Structure 1
């Protein structure tokens, strides 16, 4: 078996930044670290890539082992490799962000790792460079959401326009004009209005909508104008 002379091994890890939406608030899924150093400190989902795994396979394995979640939307967005990022060994981390509907998965979370959903503006101090990972993941999420309707991954099958607006406002940390948002959203041709209403939020109620999967590929570019002045968020 050949080896590269004079080269030392470097560990490769996976870290998953998991965004979830509960209908009105955007949240981040965190766990308490189970090993030293910084035992019991708050951390992103993470684990090492095994010799026989691709990064994608490792990310899916880590996600399922640590949380019980599988078959969720994930996107690789950056590699973190500062020599001193891990105090134990030289570790390069491949970071992914994931998008899920909290209500669909809340009963699957593993109790072993004390996973908890935390509001984005209430995130505690995280280990190593995980705070930087979250910051860059939010930036990447905003960028991709301005180009494609990926935020539907965070929604249940049926939803209201106020819920979708709350989701966009949570992602971009800004307030959208109600009338303009609704008008632009309906003009995309990607929503199907349902006959039933959500009457829990108001007496009048808001109609439910669902994503029109048949027009998804054809009309997804219509979301380019949904976020006003997207460049200011990057």
Structure 2
């Protein structure tokens, strides 16, 4: 990306002085799209470990669509970040469009999501910043997205990137200022899992995801149980006993 379009810069300026500016921006995006889509915004905090957090979700489908991708580690958002190109899945019943994420597609359809359009923005010039941002549109019926709607969503995605780039850079050991409280507790849980089971953060995330999938839970609920209720996950294969 060579630079933001004027529309994106104007949007960022409009919301920069508000509390939770990115959340307000995503709400405005859904309004600009005449509420025909639910809108989610995801940040790749660590692309190498497929560790992503949801910044905000607006509309009846977005929260579930975002949560599924984070819990499963797969989906159109993940694919869009990996290939650094939009993923326009206009019918989740078509296996040709969902072959990279069949489990996500199946579960998304079960929650009423039948089309997803993921628009990524990848930071190439500032490696110290988060590695990628994706704005996703969720719809309850199949069919291609209107080109005007995609341009509107792209403008809002670029504005979100500008807002995040102007946020103060956190210290390496600090919780990112833009993460939701739910995401912060997941980070805490990963640290506890890493210590107890002598795992890397990536391995801890894989174990957390596997247990969430097995129990039919989501990462945030499971993380709360680990951090606040003393839940200890079973040892992964061949790791020995957790450390106390």
Same fold per superposition (TM over 0.5):
no
**Larger Rg computed on CA atoms:** 1
Select the structure that is richer in helix.
2
TM-score by length of 2: 0.23
